[in-house]
Each structure stands twice: as structure tokens, then as C-alpha cells.
Amino acid sequence: MGAVAVGLLAGAVADRVASDPRRGHPVAAFGSVAAALERRAWRPAARALLVGEAATVLVVTARR
């Protein structure tokens, strides 16, 4: 069995066992935070948009 097949099988088993959380999914939480930041910091100026995008990218990459 190839590495890809093993990974797919492990993912399917993990999804069946752990599944998605009913509340507080990490992706949904990130989307909520990003939307809140956007509502708070939105301005029509290009510089403000760039700062918001940079902050979002930094949050995502800081966890790696």
C-alpha cells in the first residue's frame, strides 16, 4: 500500500473516530476573528487593507 493510500485511510479513520467538533471548530473561529478584525479596521485606503491582510497572514503562519 502506498503512502498516499495509507494517509487517506488514516484520515478516514480519524474522521470517523474524532469527527468535527460540534462547537468551536478552529477554521470557523479563525473566520470569525478575521471578520471581526475586518469590520473594525476596514477603511477604503489601500494601506489599511494591506495591514489587515498582513495581520491575517501572520496569524496563520505563526502557528507553523
3-60 pLDDT, tens per residue?
Answer: 999 999 998 998 888 887 778 788 888 899 989 988 887 766 777 778 888 888 888 8
Measured distance CA(15)–CA(57) in Å, rounded: 27
For residue 3, the model assigns a pLDDT of: 92
* b/e 8-45 (16+ beta carbons within 10 angstroms → b): eeeeeeeeeeeeeeeeeeeeeeeeeebeeeeeeeeeee
Assess contact for 49 and 43: CB atoms under 8 A: yes
Q: How far is CA 20 from the centre of its chain?
A: 14
